Amino acid sequence: MPRMVILDGNSLANRAFYALPPLTTADGRPTNVLHGFLTMLFRLEQEQHPDYWVVAFDKTKATVRIEQYAGYKAQRKETPEGLRPQFDYLKEILAELDVPMLELAGYEADDLIAAVTKQAEAQGMEIQVYTGDRDALQLISPKTHIFLTKKGISDVECYDEHVLWERYQLRPYQIIDLKGLMGDTSDNIPGVPGIGEKTALKLLWEYETVEGVLANADKVSGKKLQSNLKEYADQARLSKTLATMLTEVPLPFSLDNFIYRRPQASKVLPVLKKYDLKNVTRLWQERYTNDGETTEENSEMVVQAWSERELSEEGWLTQIEQWQTSREPLTLACRYEGTGLQGGRWLEWGVAVLGESFKLTREEASTQVIKAWLDLLENDKVPKILADSKTVSLLLGNEGTMLKGVVLDLSLASYLIQSSRTKFAPLDLVKEYAPKQDVFKSVSEEAAALAQVATKFKEELHTLGLADLLHTVEEPLSLVLAQVERQGIGIDVDQLKHFGEGISITLRQLEQDIYALAGNTFNINSPKQLGTILFEKLGLATAKKTKTGYSTDAETLEELRLAHPIIEKILDYRQLNKLMSTYVNGLLAQEKNGRIHTTFQQTVTTTGRLSSTEPNLQNIPIRLEQGRLLRKIFHPTEPDWVLLSADYSQIELRILAHYSQDPLLCESFALGQDVHTRTAAEVFGISLEDVTQEMRRSAKAVNFGLVYGLTEFGLSRDLGIPRKESKFYIEQYFKRYSGVKRYLESVVAQAKQEGQVRTLLNRLRRIPELFHSNRTQRQLGERIAMNTPVQGTAADIMKLAMIHVAEGLKPFRAAILLQVHDELLLQVAPEDLESVAGLLKEKMENAFPLSVPMTVDCKVGPNWYDMKAYKPEE
């Protein structure tokens, strides 16, 4: 099917103008719109390969709509100074690019777009409309998709009938009714007073159209609303008319004028140069020179439409029966409501296998078919491929169903292949190999597409040596995480509220004190207002750092502590306010039945660590006593059980020792010494007994810095010492620990050669920063190269340990509650405490033996605050 891409020139130019900083040529002509528009154009051309394309522009004189309504667009501001000339520049460039343009006296871009869309549809084309204007959603059809700019300009979001329905529960034709009711201030479409988006949607869900709403004005709830609907009925109908895009535009030529022609360098490069468009030129060259075209065409796949088979009830039962024994992998797509534990419930399944696809809908299937289907999901002999299996298994769990037999989780696979990715939804995964795929028309098409890219993912996993990591670590771990999330941790709501009340009282007092000291009230939480008070009103020492104003962070304030009594109050206030808003209120908002269930993200970090959200339970305060007290509210979910924690001691330094094989560092761990004291002794050239607390503190900071990629700046800031001194420490360190030095240098060297680093379990991180044009970025790249193998290996080992622990826990009354990077928190029945602690220590220490010993320390207590060291018997 030929593909037509239509761009709304005015809307996109406006977007670009406001989204981008005011760039200019050397002689001062504005060019930000050119940058934005052309970047988007090139990207779209590369990803979509249009067969036809056109940019539509307004030709505003005496539009048809002004005849209908004098106020139309009356409110619209004059085209801003910097934007107007850019339309001419843009048209000049588009002409050189051989991109067809369309404008017609008396019509807006909108109407031209509608008209072209209609013609193109009639000729059986697939149409994509790019615009920032939501009005265009009315054009959506099975053949027409709308790409709305999100933030900025080149980031777009594809809307089809399904997406529209999911967002608004509206059909495309209702978009004009929506506008009719709520109006549009930017076009000065009045709508009905008092009706915004929320109300308009509610009315349309009930009565479908403006006419339907007006006819039922008596029935709607709310007196004011009723009278407004009656009073402004005509205005609503007029607004709807104004919002309707005109399709009956006399287009003077055929669509053949819009056939895509490949731009020619001889014409394009001069005009890009004329407007100083360096970045755009670079994009152009990447796209059209050095045979980018051919290699890309070769690697790009197109998803085939698999035949979709409809099954009768009998058909389903026999088919499921066959799948139960065929051993053929089923690729599954699941549509659901809610999110995992939060009210997750499946609605539809897509199944793809052997070139055929199927759709199972909850509403339509008989109970018998559903039962057979769920049995199939629970059969671990039936191999399954799907994306984000953790969420799917959690939502199935809500209704007592298990998901077993997952042999490939595509989201996790994609994360290992490209850990810097941020999107892992099915469509994003498919687009990775089939960039032309913009949308799934059905859940069965989704499954078929996933099945086809699954092959590519498997190839890629093997090429990169990541299959083992996926199958032996990430996939089994996702099952463990699902259990942990469902389990949740116990929390004492009353105690938390009480804690919050205490804080509130102090907070109110501090607030009053601060206002008194400042001489007036202001918003203490606003760095901007606070900066004004401190540095202008009170005239405190000129701010140390600025970026978008005065810096008021704790580090800056700490230096001003003695300068004014208000500083200390503000620091206290900040600390307590953080506790109150993030922790007290944040946790209370998440509590359900005395428990909190976090979500562990397994595809977020670039190093392989987990992250925790909604709420984040990996950053519960511990460093300061005031915050640490909060840990009292976390307790086991079972009465009389206890919390058991186990944390790796110095795991990252041990990994560094293993990698570097530095004799001193290895010896230190082999002998079970305090590694910071030993480091101090080496750096200061004294015996262990002579190391002071101060020296140990310095050495500890050096050790800390090592894993981050040590810098003089960082160390001097951390220890509050001059750069000279930190430089000295680092030199001394590397003199004694020359193996560490050699190792770190070799990691960086290898990373620069390969553009990537790996962890012990082969986890991969690419480091484009190493080749960045900016020196700071390149240095960051070097630190990443030093840090990632260490941090990532620690993550690998912990993940492996979690899998072994979860397995070993089965005979016992115990459960994992949390993972905090180098710590596991469990709850255990007292009678199993000793066995479980022994098991925990054993599994964690031996998860992946290194050339230096691993040490795990256990603690036990009734809550997460009152934890006492616990040594299980051997």
Partner DNA sequence: CCCTTCACG
Partner DNA sequence: ACGTACGTGAAGGGG
Judged by CB under 7 A, the chain residues 132 through 161 that form the site for DNA are 150-152
- d(CA 692, CA 679) in angstroms, rounded, equals 12
Q: For DNA, which residue of 704, 728, 812, 848 counts as binding (CB under 7 A)? A: 704
Kindly state the smallest distance separating residue 461's Cβ from DNA, in Å: 21
Kindly state the smallest distance separating residue 862's Cβ from DNA, in Å: 19
- d(CA 213, CA 211) in angstroms, rounded, equals 5
Query: Does residue 604 belong to the site contacting DNA (CB under 7 A)?
Result: yes
What residues between 437 and 466 interact with DNA by CB under 7 A? none
Nearer to DNA, 281 or 556 (CB): 556
Kindly state the smallest distance separating residue 583's Cβ from DNA, in Å: 8
Q: For DNA, which residue of 612, 660, 759, 793 counts as binding (CB under 7 A)? A: 612
Kindly state the smallest distance separating residue 520's Cβ from DNA, in Å: 14
717-736 footprint of DNA as x/- string (CB under 7 A): -x------------------
Q: For DNA, which residue of 188, 209, 483, 551 counts as binding (CB under 7 A)? A: 551
Total binding residues toward DNA, as defined by CB under 7 A = 71
What residues between 736 and 795 interact with DNA by CB under 7 A? 775-776, 779-780, 783-784, 787-788, 791
- d(CA 858, CA 435) in angstroms, rounded, equals 50
Q: For DNA, which residue of 606, 738, 756, 855 counts as binding (CB under 7 A)? A: 606
In terms of Cβ atoms closer than 10 Å to its own Cβ (0-12, 13-18, 19+), residue 416 is buried
Kindly state the smallest distance separating residue 586's Cβ from DNA, in Å: 3
Q: For DNA, which residue of 441, 544, 578, 871 counts as binding (CB under 7 A)? A: 578
Kindly state the smallest distance separating residue 164's Cβ from DNA, in Å: 17
Q: For DNA, which residue of 547, 724, 810, 868 counts as binding (CB under 7 A)? A: 547
Question: What residue type is 399 in one-letter code?
Answer: E
Nearer to DNA, 282 or 697 (CB): 697
Nearer to DNA, 92 or 845 (CB): 845
Kindly state the smallest distance separating residue 15's Cβ from DNA, in Å: 12
Output the six-digit token pair for 77.
């501001």
Kindly state the smallest distance separating residue 339's Cβ from DNA, in Å: 13
Query: Does residue 601 belong to the site contacting DNA (CB under 7 A)?
Result: yes
Kindly state the smallest distance separating residue 73's Cβ from DNA, in Å: 24
Instruction: Please name every residue paired with 602 in a beta bridge, in sequence order, or none if there are none.
Output: none
What residues between 814 and 843 interact with DNA by CB under 7 A? 820-823
Residue with tokens 């949607």: 201
- d(CA 568, CA 329) in angstroms, rounded, equals 64
Kindly state the smallest distance separating residue 651's Cβ from DNA, in Å: 8
Binding segment toward DNA, per CB under 7 A, in 210-218, 465-473, 689-697, 712-720: 712-720
Nearer to DNA, 305 or 624 (CB): 624
- d(CA 584, CA 504) in angstroms, rounded, equals 10
Instruction: Please name every residue paired with 56 in a beta bridge, in sequence order, or none if there are none.
Output: 8, 102
> Which residues, other chains included, contact 198 with Cβ-Cβ below 8 Å and sequence gap of 6+?
none
Neighbours of 705 (CB within 10 A): 20
What residues between 672 and 701 interact with DNA by CB under 7 A? 701
Kindly state the smallest distance separating residue 234's Cβ from DNA, in Å: 34
Nearer to DNA, 513 or 718 (CB): 718
Neighbours of 455 (CB within 10 A): 11
Query: Does residue 197 belong to the site contacting DNA (CB under 7 A)?
Result: no
Nearer to DNA, 231 or 866 (CB): 866
- d(CA 654, CA 755) in angstroms, rounded, equals 25
What residues between 614 and 643 interact with DNA by CB under 7 A? 614-616, 618-624, 627-628
User: How would you label 354-382 residue by residue, b for 16+ Cβ within 10 Å and e otherwise?
Assistant: eeebbbbeeeebeeebbebbbebbebeeb
- d(CA 280, CA 359) in angstroms, rounded, equals 45
Kindly state the smallest distance separating residue 558's Cβ from DNA, in Å: 9
In terms of Cβ atoms closer than 10 Å to its own Cβ (0-12, 13-18, 19+), residue 391 is buried
User: How would you label 581-619 residue by residue, b for 16+ Cβ within 10 Å and e otherwise?
Assistant: eebbeebeeebeeeebbbbbbbbbbbbbbbbbeebebbe
Query: Does residue 585 belong to the site contacting DNA (CB under 7 A)?
Result: yes
Output the six-digit token pair for 334.
């699941």
Nearer to DNA, 63 or 606 (CB): 606
CA distances from 567 to 513, 518, 520, 559, 571 (A): 11, 10, 15, 9, 6
Q: For DNA, which residue of 118, 359, 390, 574 counts as binding (CB under 7 A)? A: 574
Of the candidates 234, 236, 160, 159, the one whose C-alpha atom is nearest the C-alpha of residue 203 is 236
Q: For DNA, which residue of 376, 710, 809, 824 counts as binding (CB under 7 A)? A: 710
Q: For DNA, which residue of 228, 319, 552, 602 counts as binding (CB under 7 A)? A: 552
Nearer to DNA, 111 or 135 (CB): 135
- d(CA 60, CA 758) in angstroms, rounded, equals 58
- d(CA 795, CA 760) in angstroms, rounded, equals 10
In terms of Cβ atoms closer than 10 Å to its own Cβ (0-12, 13-18, 19+), residue 562 is exposed
Of the candidates 624, 627, 649, the one whose C-alpha atom is nearest the C-alpha of residue 869 is 649
- d(CA 458, CA 466) in angstroms, rounded, equals 9
Nearer to DNA, 624 or 749 (CB): 624
What residues between 470 and 529 interact with DNA by CB under 7 A? 523, 525-529
- Within 373-481, strands assigned E span 384-386, 406-409
Residues 47, 48, 50, 55, CA torsion sign: negative
Kindly state the smallest distance separating residue 185's Cβ from DNA, in Å: 17
Nearer to DNA, 32 or 437 (CB): 32
Binding segment toward DNA, per CB under 7 A, in 193-201, 213-221, 553-561, 739-747: 553-561
Q: What are the two backbone dihedrals, phi and then psi, of residue 340, each rounded to the nearest 5 degrees?
A: 50, -120
- d(CA 354, CA 314) in angstroms, rounded, equals 20
- d(CA 385, CA 450) in angstroms, rounded, equals 8
Query: Does residue 586 belong to the site contacting DNA (CB under 7 A)?
Result: yes
Query: Does residue 342 belong to the site contacting DNA (CB under 7 A)?
Result: no
Binding segment toward DNA, per CB under 7 A, in 184-192, 310-318, 605-613, 866-874: 605-613
Nearer to DNA, 173 or 713 (CB): 713
Kindly state the smallest distance separating residue 619's Cβ from DNA, in Å: 3
Query: Does residue 861 belong to the site contacting DNA (CB under 7 A)?
Result: no
Kindly state the smallest distance separating residue 623's Cβ from DNA, in Å: 4
Kindly state the smallest distance separating residue 605's Cβ from DNA, in Å: 4
Query: Does residue 711 belong to the site contacting DNA (CB under 7 A)?
Result: yes
What residues between 790 and 819 interact with DNA by CB under 7 A? 791
Nearer to DNA, 452 or 793 (CB): 793
Q: For DNA, which residue of 157, 231, 459, 553 counts as binding (CB under 7 A)? A: 553
